[in-house]
Amino acid sequence: MNPSELKAALLADRQAAYGRLRGGAPILLAGATYWAALTAIGYLTTGHVWYYAALFGSGLIFPLAILYARLLKNNFMADRTAVTSVLAPAMIAMLLFWPMAIAALWEAPGVFPLILAIGLSLHFPVIGWSYGRTFLLTAHAVIRAAIVFAIWTLFPEERLTLIPLAVTVAYLVTALIVWMDSGRFRARESEN
């Protein structure tokens, strides 16, 4: 197999997984749920409570994703492709933002929501690549970073409500687009 054929076969495998797994919709829904909860917490409590809910609540994202996967009959944990091995390094790279986030929480808490909102999206370009849809999930991360930075800059008094609200909306819009887009690949796979 020459490099061009290998590249085409690899892309077909990645896009087939995108269709089977509906583009990781359970994970997107889990992220939306986490950020929606932070929006509510921002409206109902003080910054101190929000910071620790955000910090420790982030550990619920993965279990929520598994719950949504069960509800959607989407066993993303069992699915394997030729590029599945890229997911662990992508997650490790994303998790490396936590020392900065925790340091900000200790020294400059006002920066914590910004670091959290951007840091928890650092793996999206690689996840997008693993599905053969780099642009789509990269766009989520880039647009999300721009919007949360704008909110952080322009609305300092509303950071704990508007930032999580914006991220929630970004997740829901992305989940809807991914669901519709992945349906095309799912249909294509079922035809073969």
For the chain (192 residues), the mean pLDDT of every run of 10, in chain order, is 92 93 94 98 93 96 96 86 90 95 96 98 96 97 98 97 98 97 84 67
Cα 144 from Cα 173, distance rounded (Å): 11
| Residue pair 26/69 in contact by the 8 Å Cβ criterion | yes
For 163-191, b/e burial (b = at least 16 CB within 10 A) is bbbbbbbbbbebbebbbebbeebbeeeee
pLDDT at 26: 95
Q: Residue for token digits 């998790």?
A: 95
Structure tokens at 108: 């400059």
The pLDDT assigned to 192 comes to 64
Res 109: pLDDT: 95
Amino acid at 141: A
Residue 178: per-residue pLDDT: 96
How much is the pLDDT for 106? 95
pLDDT value at residue 105: 95
**Contact, 171 vs 32, CB < 8 A?**
yes
Question: Is residue 152 helix, strand or coil?
Answer: helix
Question: Is the distance from CB of 98 to CB of 87 less than 8 angstroms?
Answer: no
The contacts of residue 86 (CB under 8 Å, 6+ apart) are: 126, 129, 130
